[in-house]
Every structure is written in C-alpha cells, then in structure tokens.
Structure 1
C-alpha cells in the first residue's frame, strides 16, 4: 500500500468509525455469537498472495463485527468501562502513524517530557501533593506487579534480583479480601507465592479491611519468623467498590516500616472531583498509587497512571543499564523504561494531552458527576420496586442488586437473559457468598436515557421470568 492509498483508506476508516459510534445504540451491547462462529470464517492457513484492502474491510464487517462486544456502547454497564473518547482516539491514531518506541529519553525526547508533564497534570487534578512523581504503565496490573516487586526487593535489601528467592526468608504481603485478582497474579509472578498473600477480612458498608485483624496478622507473622513486606489497599475494588481506611492502613504500615500500594484503578478517576475524595482520605501517605485513565477518564486503552513517592526505590528494583541503553552526556534525563517492567514503551502521554486539553478538567468532572448521579438515581428507582433488593449501596456509580427471593441460579439466569436481550450489558459477582447482579456506569458518552432503558430492561425481563 502506498502512503497515498493509506490516506484514502484512513479517511474511509474515520468515516466508518464516526458512523459506528453514532449508531451504537442500534446494536446489542454484548456479542451474540456462539463459540467458534468467528474461527470458522477464518482460513486455516495464511494467504500466499495479497488482496485489495476493500475486500479485507468487507470481511471485517462480515467476520469480525458480529463477534465484537461493544465496550463503547452507552449502555455498557458490566465491567468497568474501557473508554475511547474521540480526542483520545485521534491522539492514538497519530501515535500509531509516527510509531515511536519511547523506551529512553533519546529515543523520543518529546514523549518522555510530555509523560512527565502529563503525570504532573494528573497529580494536580487529583489533589495529590507535589512530592509524587509519575509514570504511565500499560495497566494497573503492571503497576501492582511493579509495586509487589519493590516490596520484595526492599524487604530483601535488594538482594532478590541478584541471589534469587531460593533459601530467602518467607515474605508476607497483606491486602483485603476484596482486592482484584491482579494482586494474586502479581504475587505469583513475583515468586512470593499465593500462600503468602494474607487477605484480611473486611467490615462495614465500604468493606474496609479490619485494622485490628491487619495488626494481628503482622504480629503473628513476625513472631513466626516471617518477614512482612508490604500492604496493598483498595479504593473502589472491582466486586462491589470496597474502599479501605487508608489512614489506618498507612499508620500501621509506618509502624512496621512496610511499603504501601493503593489500587484505585477504577475509582481514582473520580478523585478529580473534590467531593468524592473522602473515599481515599490518606492516599497521600502511600508509597505507590495507581489508577487507570482508560477506565473512567476517557483515555483510550491502555493507559495506567502510576504515582510514586520515591521513584528511586522502583528504579533500584527494575532498572538495568547495558551500554546500548545509556544516554551519554545527558545523565540527568528520565528513562521511563527503568520505571516499567517492559523495556519497550508506547507514546501513551499523547492521548492524555489531547484528552485534558480538549475537554478540560471541568468537562471531565461533569461527565463523572453525571454518571454517579444517574447510576444512583437508577438504584433508588429499583429500590422502590417491591420485587427487587439492593444488596450493596452505591459507591460512586457501582452497586449490586438482585430480584427479591431469587436463588443463585435464578440470579444468573436473569443476568443471562438481560445480556442475551442485548439492550444493556451487566455482570454478576459474589457478595457474602451470594450471587448478585453488579451495575456500574462509566462509558464516556452515556446519557440519562440509557439508565432509563436499563430500568425498563431489568424490570421487564425479571418479571417475565
């Protein structure tokens, strides 16, 4: 393909994209295909000869699109949204065209310096103190793994990477029983082992980890000769939005000299609104904080904002400097590959720059406030219906419910019926061992009418069953 042909096809793709987004409400939210439907339409072997892009686009519509779940659909109320605001999409398109590899300052100075400044913008927008420095990771999972590795190395006096873990003391990391599964995976990958992830029971409406139980667990581990290494807290955990008491956790961590990491992957975006910051009071005492602008702020996936009180501890854990990665003569520059697990890095800062400049912080706040308001209003409408029960109260735009008296099987059947219907998309979760239906809002372009459709769909299908 010549670049002249590229220009034509890129314009066609942009037109297709605009039409796709403006007609999303006409499509079922979740893919309606059965397992194997897409694979059966794909050739077993790659083609020997090329073909016209027009034919490929036609097959894209026929083969791919029926099997796509529409994450940008305004009635996507299932998982935390992975957004793609138009301004962010344009930035990602430009980044794809120039295709820089931004591992070092010298491999694209603009990308590095913009990343530094965009993290400063986000830090200011969240109301965090200037002491924090930031790096853009691909996801909160990667930031959490980086934090766990830092906990490990700090507890082992930075000998783990050198000597390995064989024969090393037994390390312990603490978190609540509400944390995301990415914490478990980070423990596996870091070589610490799932038996050494101590999950503390949670209490209260916010399902915070119990400080007394946390203190007891640490004391018991020390008495048994194990080494406490760190604590992972949550603000807005995935299941039902659990929020830990961060001030209490930070105080315990300080007493025992433990490294702290805060997973605010979803709820962190809402902290650009000052009125929601009570949910993470004490966040400014944590060593490491992560949230995903691609979840609720509108940035195109992938984009995780990782803040650090002391980046040197992370660099001491991850940095490796062979001769070919050194930037001679400019030793004071930042090489963000030393702050990340992958060496290769994409130009993720560009979409944040486009996003925050185009919508402004107040425009982004307005969207988040609307999502919270409309979601909580839907919760109250459903609460007023005698045949529904609100199981967990709204935390921002997330809450859970079920049909009154429904068994776990009946609850799952209702979830399946709703998703097969196609008007909205929900998912299930477990709360205190019972299956419930989880509702969360955060798609960038959703409107109040989409929540009205959700009410109609839920009540209609539940009563039909």
Structure 2
C-alpha cells in the first residue's frame, strides 16, 4: 500500500477525496452496513447505545449535529431490529423522529428478528415503522425458507427506480410500461425467482403454522436460558431475546475463548461468539425444526464436560 502511494505521488495522481456524505448505524449494526458505505464511498459513523444495547434518538442526533458542525452531510441511517451481537432492538420511533427532522433516509435491518413479526405479540418493537423509508429482513434465517431469500419494502419505490433507471435500446421491451422492472431496483440486470420458495413455505405451514414455529423456538430458547441461569458454571450475558441466548462461562474472556474453541473443534455443536464492551460471550440460536428440550439439556452437559477439561 505504501509503495502504491509513492507511485501515485510520483505520477502526480490526485489524492483520494472522501465524500462529505455520512451514514449512521449502531455500533452493534452488522458489518455489512459499514461495507456498503465503503462500496458507496461515503463515510460511516457508528453511534453508541444505551444500557439495553439500543441505539436511541438523542445519541443519533448528537452525532448528526456534530457532523453538520464539521461541514459534513448526514443522509442515511440504519436502524437494527435484532442486532447480530445480542438481538437487541434500536428505538425505531425515536430514530424515525430524528430522521424526519433532519431529512435523512431511515432503513431498517431486521435480517434475523424480522421473521418474529409474524407474531402479533412482538410487533410493539415496530413502533415508529410509519417513519421508515425502507425495511428488509431475511426469511431464510428464521421463517423456514431455504437460502437465500430477502424481503425488501420501499415506501416510495420511485425514489429507488429513478436513481438506478437506465434504459438503453437493447434492454427495452414491449411490456416495460406494464410491469415492475426489477433491473431498476438493483445493481444486476437479472434476479433469481425467490417468490416461489416463499410461496411453498406459506402454503405448507400457513401463517398459523409459522407463528407456532416462531413461538416454539422462543420457548426453547427460554428453556435454555433458564438452564444457564440455574447453572453454577454459566451466566447469561443478557436476557433471552427472540430465539437467541447470549451466555458465558463464569470466568475470564480467555476461558470463554478456550471453551468455544474446544466445543467447535469437537463438532457436536457449533456456537458463534460476540464481544461487547470488552465482554466476550457465546451465542446459541434455535434454528432447527428438530430441536427438543433434551437436545438443550445435552448441550449444557456437553459444555460442562468441555469446561472441566480446560
């Protein structure tokens, strides 16, 4: 990289100018948010969170005001409903009000937890959804749909269509005024037909069946969280959220890293870690239709055996 900089200087190439446009998301937002900003050549400023790991309106507005003072241009905010670290939920209503005040586009990333909104009792987490410009979740993560399937809604689709609309003669067709042409909604010209796989799931399970499935996984997660709470050797990092349980062995971060390495190398179970505020913890998500309470009992016993070997 240094050599490339030297060579650019020797050739008189211009310095790279970073865009003054700024996008925002929680410090717990998925890395894909920051990656999208890198691809779009805009700045990304992560925002802090409260004691419940939720990005709040006043925290966002503080960042916006500071950036405007610097001469920057805030334009885009990603609210996460179900963060990848611990399935926490940003305060959608507060963020929406801030975005409306400052004229920013508010997008919702509900990749995992969005499936749970099929159950009415979870929809309080959608408070403020009317202030959102776009909303996305992945039915393949928790709604029984095979990979890959992503559902995206745009409040005003013409804004997206206008930005990406190119109509050279070789792509024109006789039905273009009668159909929604998705080549204007995305980067590639073509797209896979994912509607059919979603249709089969909805027809096979029905809304009631999918609600039963979601509630069942959350009940199993609560059962596992209770096992952790009662254990002498483990503790919850935070209360169970949706179908995710965040926990750790009582001890140091290094001990938990060693435990995870031992478990995953044993290949009887696979866990993914996370780290928030210098606390390293493990995550267990209920994903299989075959999971039972006995399986979760076995998981706890398995972890105890590996922990004793450390």
- CA 1:211–1:239: 2 relative to 1, 3 Å: same
SS where residue 289 of structure 1 aligns?
Answer: strand
1:410 aligns with 2:255: yes
Q: Relative contact order: is structure 1 or structure 2 higher (C-alpha 8 Å, sep ≥ 6)?
A: 1
1:85-129, CA deviations, whole angstroms, 9 ceiling, x for partnerless residues? Answer: xxxxxxxxxxxxxxxxxxxxxxxxxxxxxxxxxxxxxxxxxxxxx
Unaligned 5+ segments in structure 1 are 1-165
1:180 aligns with 2:25: no
1:191 aligns with 2:41: yes
Distance between the aligned counterparts of 1:267 and 1:306, measured in 2?
Answer: 14
Distance between the aligned counterparts of 1:271 and 1:296, measured in 2?
Answer: 11
Distance between the aligned counterparts of 2:77 and 2:226, measured in 1?
Answer: 36
Find 1:318's aligned residue among 160, 164, 171.
164
SS where residue 239 of structure 1 aligns?
Answer: coil
1:218 maps to 64
Larger mean CA deviation between 257-266 and 432-441 belongs to: 432-441
Question: What pairs with 1:120-135 in structure 2 (closer than 5 Å)?
Answer: none
1:366 aligns with 2:212: yes
2:221 maps to 375
SS where residue 85 of structure 2 aligns?
Answer: coil
RMSD: 1.7
Find 2:21's aligned residue among 142, 166, 171.
171
- Could you state the TM-score of these two structures normalised by the residue count of structure 2? 0.90
Distance between the aligned counterparts of 2:115 and 2:78, measured in 1?
Answer: 19
Q: How many residues align?
A: 295
The alpha-carbon deviation at position 308 of structure 1 amounts to: 0.7
SS where residue 208 of structure 1 aligns?
Answer: coil
- CA 1:455–1:331: 2 relative to 1, 3 Å: same
1:200 maps to 47
1:419 aligns with 2:264: yes
- CA 1:314–1:422: 2 relative to 1, 3 Å: same
Find 2:103's aligned residue among 228, 248, 257.
257
SS where residue 271 of structure 1 aligns?
Answer: helix
Kindly indicate whether the alpha-carbon contact (under 8 Å) linking 1:423 and 1:453 is maintained by their aligned counterparts in 2.
no
2:10 maps to none
The alpha-carbon deviation at position 360 of structure 1 amounts to: 0.7
1:153-173, CA deviations, whole angstroms, 9 ceiling, x for partnerless residues? Answer: xxxxxxxxxxxxx87960011
Kindly indicate whether the alpha-carbon contact (under 8 Å) linking 1:178 and 1:237 is maintained by their aligned counterparts in 2.
yes
The alpha-carbon deviation at position 441 of structure 1 amounts to: 1.5
